[in-house]
């Protein structure tokens, strides 16, 4: 490990020590995990992750306004109760459709089992992710709108051999954040999924962590995409091979709070 790498690791380890506590999740320091951590239901937690874009305080405000118990109600009630709900790119029809889709999926499948089915072949988180997205579209009767597609994401692009492309795919930040919440287990993350190894997780790369990673020297690449997320993850494995994504929240807060 180079001298600079040692300095970066020291900084990040120090940040983790002071960040890995319940006090980090509050209305003064809003984060979607503040709402997600109140639940043990993986479908509710995924909703919290998928709507987690934009200003953190507005994300939390919107999530607080949702009645997640509607996932266990009938479709008529979902239609009625969510008729006036919208969030940024999602109109009321998009919000109602994701609730109705998750309601149907929840009656038949565990998200962990669906994910694991594709992940287990090669311990590949991206295969698990792609299969979940495919399943959501199937259960939504292939509902399409700009807002719904933004919320759920497109399926991952593949090359001629059927391998998921590293270049040409977005970082899928909200999905990888959801996996972090579900797989890792500490004072922040929920650890509700037991069959997935945290060493296989990929950094949930957003604009904060992208810029911070460049400033720290964790990344020299200029493109914000899946390849960059994989490169930073690989670099973080030099600091902790078994749990590289433990550094995600520290990197995010360093960027958000303009610590550098």
pLDDT for residue 115: 98
Q: Give CA separation, 132 vs 6, 8, 139, in Å.
A: 38, 35, 11
Cβ atoms of residues 16 and 35 within 8 Å: no
pLDDT for residue 255: 84
pLDDT for residue 34: 96
Can you read off the two tokens belonging to residue 149?
A: 């597609």
The rounded distance, in Å, linking the Cα atoms of 70 and 82 is 9
Smallest CA-to-CA distance from 151 within 99, 190, 81 is with 99
Buried b (16+ CB within 10 A) or exposed e, 39-72: eebbbbbbbbbbbbbeebeebbebbeebebebbe
Cβ atoms of residues 251 and 243 within 8 Å: no
CB atoms near residue 187 (< 10 Å): 11
Domains held by the chain: number? 1
Cβ atoms of residues 66 and 84 within 8 Å: no
Cβ atoms of residues 250 and 16 within 8 Å: yes
Torsion over CA of 229, 234, 237 and 238, rounded to 10 degrees? Answer: -130
Over its length of 260 residues, how does the chain's per-residue pLDDT go in tens digits? 889 899 999 999 999 998 888 888 999 989 999 999 999 999 999 999 999 999 999 999 999 999 999 999 999 999 999 999 999 999 999 999 999 999 999 999 999 999 999 999 999 999 999 999 999 999 999 999 999 999 999 999 999 999 999 999 999 999 999 999 999 999 999 999 999 999 999 999 998 899 999 999 999 999 999 999 999 999 999 999 999 999 999 998 888 888 87
Q: Provide the 3-class DSSP secondary structure of residue 200.
A: helix
Can you read off the two tokens belonging to residue 83?
A: 């008729």
Can you read off the two tokens belonging to residue 112?
A: 């962990």
pLDDT for residue 167: 97
Range of the domain at 119: 3-256
pLDDT for residue 20: 86
- State in Å, rounded, how far the first CA of the chain is from the last one: 22
Give the pLDDT confidence of 35-87 residue by residue, as tens digits: 999 999 999 999 999 999 999 999 999 999 999 999 999 999 999 999 999 99
């Amino acid at each position: 490990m180079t001298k600079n790498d040692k300095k970066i690791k020291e900084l990040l380890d120090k940040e983790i020590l002071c960040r890995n506590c319940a006090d980090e999740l509050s209305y003064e320091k809003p984060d979607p995990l503040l709402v997600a951590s109140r639940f043990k239901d993986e479908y509710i937690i995924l909703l919290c992750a998928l709507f987690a874009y934009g200003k953190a305080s507005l994300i939390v405000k919107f999530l607080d306004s949702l009645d997640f118990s509607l996932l266990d109600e009938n479709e008529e009630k979902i239609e009625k109760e969510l008729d006036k709900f919208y969030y940024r790119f999602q109109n009321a029809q998009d919000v109602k459709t994701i609730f109705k889709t998750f309601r149907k999926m929840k009656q038949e499948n565990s998200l962990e089992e669906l994910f694991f089915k594709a992940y287990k072949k090669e311990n590949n988180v991206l295969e698990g992710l792609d299969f979940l997205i495919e399943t959501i579209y199937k259960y939504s009767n292939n509902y399409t709108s700009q807002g719904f597609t933004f919320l759920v994401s497109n399926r991952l692009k593949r090359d001629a051999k059927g391998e998921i492309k590293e270049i040409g795919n977005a970082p899928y930040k909200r999905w990888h954040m959801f996996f972090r919440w579900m797989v890792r287990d500490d004072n922040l993350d929920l650890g509700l999924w037991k069959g997935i190894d945290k060493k296989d997780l990929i950094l949930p790369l957003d604009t904060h962590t992208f810029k911070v990673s460049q400033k720290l020297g964790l990344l020299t690449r200029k493109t914000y995409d899946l390849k960059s997320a994989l490169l930073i993850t690989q670099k973080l494995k030099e600091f902790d091979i078994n749990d590289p994504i433990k550094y995600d929240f520290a990197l995010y807060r360093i960027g958000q709070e303009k610590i550098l």
